[in-house]
């Protein structure tokens, strides 16, 4: 069975060495040495000032909103994983959806300003499939209207914009380190924060709001990463170069072989790729379903990222309509991409798609 992705498991003996260290010192959670080492190494690797590790990417978003005291409305995209929206709703923030660009699939900056009201406190864009948003335009809009910007960068690990980490844009960028991601810690996530004072506040918030044993000044939660997850992250960092090279090879074969058969996401020319996903767009949903059915019959399971469009969620009121997002969500499919995907299997996938189309 071939799924859309496959969790990469690094060298087992190396992981065991880290586990032996954990057993030796008996420190398994609460900001242990593995977590601190991973934060340091990730900051250096990514080229960011401060990184705060957390238990998952959804909690990273929630902690970001609390750290920045986001209230009222937040302008965001309807074309994303549901956590982008649900994390807002969970924190009492109303998602105001702005439609996407039909080519880049990111939030369209031209639509943002007309949605800003006195109740708007933030913009929450997503770097979809690792494709960098128009960060400079969004930053300018936020500055003019005194809004905070939280980037959901779950897909954008190691993406660079004009030579620097795209994670350095906005007030906070959040990452997901789920097992399916390019870089993972089994479960996990992170906040990238440039403001040192906000870093300190975020660290209180992920530990129940506790500042010290006798002071709890913030309403916090338990969002800490544990040592075993951090150990996995350290192993992954050791092997990232080879992982990225193999993903790049798979990506480029798809791109070459399917160029005249499907539509590809338009890449931001100032943004690098991390080869974490390979989305393709068909002419319509009927065509997509035919391809999906043909692949499924051969035990190949691509995935409909992102379906359904989030502006159609039942629990979002008032109802909003984003026509482009709804259209794209019905005819986009992510093809299997992971380092261990064999050439023979990949060409079988490609051949089936060509035959159907």
Closest CA to 235 of 15, 51, 16: 15
**51: nearest Cα among 268, 235, 233, 247:** 233
pLDDT tens per residue across span 39-77: 999 999 999 999 999 999 999 999 999 999 999 999 999
**Mean pLDDT to the nearest integer, 184-208:** 96
Contact 250, 305 (CB under 8 A): no
Integer Cα distance of 76 and 144 in angstroms = 18
Write down all domains in the chain, each with its CATH number in brackets.
Answer: 2-235 (3.40.640.10), 240-356 (3.90.1150.10)
Q: Which whole number is the average pLDDT over 115-144?
A: 98
Nearest CA among 254, 177, 193 for reference residue 43: 193
Longest dimension (CA), the chain: 68
Closest CA to 234 of 1, 25, 42, 28: 42
pTM above 0.75, yes or no: yes
And the tokens for 320? 């909003």
Mean pLDDT over 152-166 rounds to 97
Parallel/antiparallel/unpaired status of strands 300-301 and 2-3: parallel
Q: 39 near 51, Cβ under 8 Å? A: yes
Whole-angstrom CA distances from 135 to 90, 165, 213, 244 are 26, 12, 40, 24
What average pLDDT does this structure show over 136-147? 98
pLDDT at 212 over 90: no
Sign of the dihedral defined by the CA atoms of residues 111, 117, 123, 128, in that order: negative
- 79 — pLDDT class (breaks 50, 70, 90): very high
- pLDDT given at position 252: 98
**In the chain, what is the straight-line distance between the N-terminal and C-terminal CA atoms, in Å?**
23
pLDDT tens across 260-311, in order?
A: 999 999 999 999 999 999 999 999 999 999 999 999 999 999 999 999 999 9
Instruction: Round to whole Å and give the CA distance between 241 and 164.
Output: 18
Q: What is the pLDDT of the chain when averaged over all its residues?
A: 97
pLDDT at 298: 97
Taking the C-alpha atoms of residue 6 and residue 179, their distance in angstroms, rounded to an integer, is: 9
**Residue 213: pLDDT over 90:** no
24 vs 219: CA distance, rounded Å: 34
What are 1-42's pLDDT values in tens digits? 999 999 999 999 999 999 999 999 999 999 999 999 999 999
Share of the chain above pLDDT 90, in %: 97
pLDDT at 36: 98
Q: What percentage of the chain exceeds 70 in pLDDT?
A: 100
Question: Does residue 218 surpass a pLDDT of 90?
Answer: no
| pLDDT of res. 29 | 96
């Amino acid at each position: 069975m071939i799924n859309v992705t496959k969790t990469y498991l690094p060298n087992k003996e190396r992981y065991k060495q880290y586990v032996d260290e954990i057993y030796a010192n008996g420190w398994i959670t609460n900001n242990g040495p593995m977590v601190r080492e991973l934060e340091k190494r990730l900051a250096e690797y990514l080229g960011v000032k401060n990184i705060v590790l957390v238990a998952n990417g959804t909690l990273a978003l929630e902690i970001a909103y609390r750290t920045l005291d986001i209230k009222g409305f937040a302008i965001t995209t309807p074309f994303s994983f549901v956590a982008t929206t649900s994390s807002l709703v969970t924190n009492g923030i109303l998602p105001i959806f702005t439609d996407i660009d039909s080519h880049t699939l990111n939030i369209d900056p031209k639509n943002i300003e007309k949605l800003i009201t006195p109740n708007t406190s933030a913009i929450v864009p997503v770097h979809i499939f690792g494709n960098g948003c128009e960060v400079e335009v969004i930053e300018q809009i936020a500055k003019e209207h005194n809004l905070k910007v939280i980037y959901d960068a779950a897909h954008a690990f190691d993406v660079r914009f004009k030579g620097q980490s795209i994670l350095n844009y906005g007030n906070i960028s959040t990452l997901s380190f789920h097992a399916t991601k390019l870089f993972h810690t089994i479960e996990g996530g992170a906040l990238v924060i440039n403001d040192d004072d906000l870093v300190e506040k975020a660290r209180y918030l992920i530990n129940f709001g506790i500042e010290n044993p006798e002071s709890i000044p913030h309403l916090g939660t338990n969002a800490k990463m544990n040592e075993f997850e951090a150990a996995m992250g350290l192993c992954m960092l050791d092997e990232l170069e080879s992982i990225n090279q193999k993903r790049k090879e798979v990506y480029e074969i798809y791109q070459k072989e399917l160029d005249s058969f499907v539509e590809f996401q338009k890449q931001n020319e100032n943004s690098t790729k991390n080869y974490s996903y390979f989305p393709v767009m068909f002419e319509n949903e009927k065509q997509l379903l035919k391809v999906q059915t043909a692949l499924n019959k051969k035990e190949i399971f691509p995935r409909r990222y992102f379906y359904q469009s989030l502006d159609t969620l039942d629990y979002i009121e008032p109802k909003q309509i984003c026509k482009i997002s709804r259209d794209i969500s019905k005819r986009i499919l992510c093809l299997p991409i992971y380092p261990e995907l064999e050439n023979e299997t990949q060409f079988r996938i490609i051949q089936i798609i060509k035959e159907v189309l």
